Amino acid sequence: MQSPLIALTAVAFIVPSMAFAHGDKGQTSINYAGPVETVSLDTLLAQKSFRDKEVVVEGFLIRQVSKDEFVFSDGQSEMTIELDDDVRLNESINETTKVRLFGEYEGGKHPEIEVEHIQIL
């Protein structure tokens, strides 16, 4: 009789811990709506550096290329972006939804932004 009770007690403690540990993987719970310094795609594309650079851009995801790749437009230029595996949104978006992307710009022959966080504006 004690074995089932011990197993049930262990499950009661482990399951909530696993759900809590999964959480939002480091995403901040703050939804800041104030000013943020952004950069245009033209500025990024004009830089010939091969160094990765943290950037914030605003615009629209105008087309989905694959499961985690999209074409992003800031209204002037377009660039491929790739979403990190842990990027999640609680609502649907489309090509008319304005977004702010936080990520790492990777220059070179095929420049792209690897998005670490996305915010709907």
Decide: 115 and 82 in contact? Cβ < 8 Å.
Answer: yes
How high is the pLDDT of residue 87?
87
Alpha-carbon distance of 115 to 104, in angstroms, equals 7
Which amino acid type is present at position 96?
Answer: T
CATH number at residue 107: 2.40.50.200
* Any domain includes 30: no
* Any domain includes 35: no
* Any domain includes 96: yes
Q: Coil, strand, or helix at residue 30?
A: coil
* Any domain includes 77: yes
Q: 13-68, pLDDT tens digit by residue?
A: 555 544 444 444 455 557 677 788 999 999 998 887 767 899 999 999 999 999 99
Which amino acid type is present at position 54?
Answer: E
Select from 50, 40, 54 the least CA-distant residue to 108. 50
* Any domain includes 54: yes
How high is the pLDDT of residue 38?
93
Alpha-carbon distance of 50 to 105, in angstroms, equals 9
Decide: 77 and 45 in contact? Cβ < 8 Å.
Answer: yes
Residue 98 domain boundaries: 41-120
* Any domain includes 72: yes
User: How many domains does the chain contain in total?
Assistant: 1
Decide: 59 and 98 in contact? Cβ < 8 Å.
Answer: yes
CA dihedral for 35, 40, 44, 46, sign (positive or negative): negative
* Any domain includes 81: yes
